[in-house]
Amino acid sequence: MKYFPLFHNTADLRVLIVGAGEVATRKTELMLKTDATITVVAPWQCDSMLGYVNEERVTLHSREFNPADLTGQQLVFVATDDHQLNCDISTLCKAANIPVNVVDSTELCSFITPSIVDRDPLVVALSSGGSAPVLLRLLRQKLEALLPARLADLARLSDSFRDKVKQRFSSVNQRRHFWEQVLEGDIAETALRGELDSAAQQIEDRLASNADMPAGCVYLVGAGPGDPELLTFKALRLMQKADVVVYDRLVSAEILELVRRDAEKIYVGKKASLHSVPQDQINQLLVDLARAGKRVVRLKGGDPYIFGRGGEEVQSLLEAGISFDVVPGITAAAGAAAYAGIPLTHRDHAQSVTLATAHLKDDSVDLDWPALAKTNQTLVFYMGLTALPVICRELQQHGLAADTQIALVQSATTAKQQVVTGTLRDIEARAAEANLLPPALIIVGGVVSLYQTFNAGRLGAQQ
């Protein structure tokens, strides 16, 4: 992040604007929305700037810039057509540790101004760091259309009740849940219709009621195979509402970025043959957090009920009397196959799909090999890379030909995705040559023969 966004208190801010043409006037108009004290220095002024001077909204020094003009200033905008003057002022400001913005000269700026969607006191600021101004404009247009004009009224109404809500609810979680009920329900709709008195009375009534806040609960949420764009809307909504997020190793950093910033994040990651937190401790953690009144999201790679141990966690929640819900996610088999260009079913190659884990609860690989080693089906092994020699040996011993096609998909659906194909005879050597590491998915069957053709024609193919 090259430019870090900040919201500056403008109550006592002193701002200098050098230049008084139309560009400088636009910066002035932006600052006139704040409480800052504005001084303009320029030998010539356009009509719009003179209008603000005549209204006594800015102080004008109608002359050339002097370095002494920087004395006491806390923010400087430079908008002249004299490049050397712009460079000189930028150098002076940086030497004096005064933030400076030189219009249309990013290299001379110590700060840049964002594109703003103004619903004061709610302000949305967008920036591309000067790299994509057209994209920025399009995003702002979308946000302007999405955010109701009366959102400012709703924000001010909420602010007027902050102290009362603090008095009514002692914990941060209780207050957050209360405001979510207000802002996501009928009260907010009433305020956005302009019926502020009615909305205020509804808030008063809700505060006066003796109804307790909802007890803690747990949401088992499937995070999908890695690409954040594969999250469901419901998953994203719950991630933004969680008090605590319990996540594992298969949840990508990009997906964690979408979790609410102030939510507590607890890592309980696992990898092959190494469990940093035993499953029974994870189960108890979920129960304890919910009993403490927390809204818990158990974020799992793929789908919670497909080799995600979601069933074990639900059993513990049921025994403890904890309310829960399960949000399905795109399982790794579907994600890996789609992004690798390998269809899981195809009338010419496979009429069924079998999903299997290469590690059972006791870390064995004791599977029903005769049932797995059948033709005209696709096999998908989860968590199977370390067991690859066993898989290849057992499938051949139970009837599959040595030239049966097999694919290994590492870090499926992410920018690091890597696909290695081969046969049951040679895939071990190919995997070693490619230095594949978990997490990786194994796909076995005739559908793998379509990999090169299907992947080459796919938009955004990673291989």
76 beta partners: 16, 100
22 is in an annotated binding site: yes
Edge to edge, the sheet with strand 100-102 lists 59-61, 37-41, 14-18, 75-78, 100-102
Of the candidates 27, 227, 248, 294, the residue annotated as catalytic is 248
Separation between Cα atoms, residue 292 and residue 275, nearest integer Å: 26
Binding site annotation covers 225?
yes
Query: Which of 77, 41, 71, 73 shows the shortest CA–CA distance to 58?
Result: 41
Q: Residue 339: which of 415, 439, 266, 282 has the closest Cα?
A: 415
> Whole-angstrom Cα distance, residue 127 to residue 116?
9
Question: Is 383 labelled as part of a ligand binding site?
Answer: yes
Whether 331 has a binding-site annotation, put simply, is yes
What residue spans of 307-355 are helical by DSSP H? 310-320, 332-340
Determine whether the annotation assigns residue 432 to a binding site.
Answer: no
Identify whether the C-beta of residue 248 lies closer than 8 Å to the C-beta of residue 269: yes
206/266 Cα distance (integer angstroms): 33
In the annotation, is 118 catalytic? no
- Residue 228 in marked binding region: no
CB under 8 Å to 418, separation ≥6 — which residues?
Answer: 409, 410, 411, 434, 436, 463
Cβ atoms 219, 327 nearer than 8 A = yes
Tokens read off for 346: 């195809």
232 appears as a binding residue in the annotation: no
Q: Which two structure tokens, joined as six digits, stand for 110? A: 């110590």
Instruction: Report the C-alpha gap between 407 and 451 in whole angstroms.
Output: 9
Rg of the chain over Cα atoms, rounded to whole angstroms, equals 30
| Catalytic hit among 94, 234, 241, 270 | 270
Q: Binding site annotation covers 64?
A: no
Is 270 catalytic? The answer is: yes
Residue 67 assigned as binding residue: no
Quickly list DSSP for 232-272.
-HHHHHHHHH-SEEEE-TTS-HHHHTTS-TTSEEEE--EET
Measured between alpha carbons, how far is 429 from 119 in angstroms, rounded to an integer? Answer: 61
**Residues with active-site annotation:** 248, 270
**Binding site, annotated residues for NAD(+):** 22-23, 43-44
**Binding site, annotated residues for S-adenosyl-L-methionine:** 225, 301-303, 306, 331-332, 383, 412
**Binding site, annotated residues:** 22-23, 43-44, 225, 301-303, 306, 331-332, 383, 412
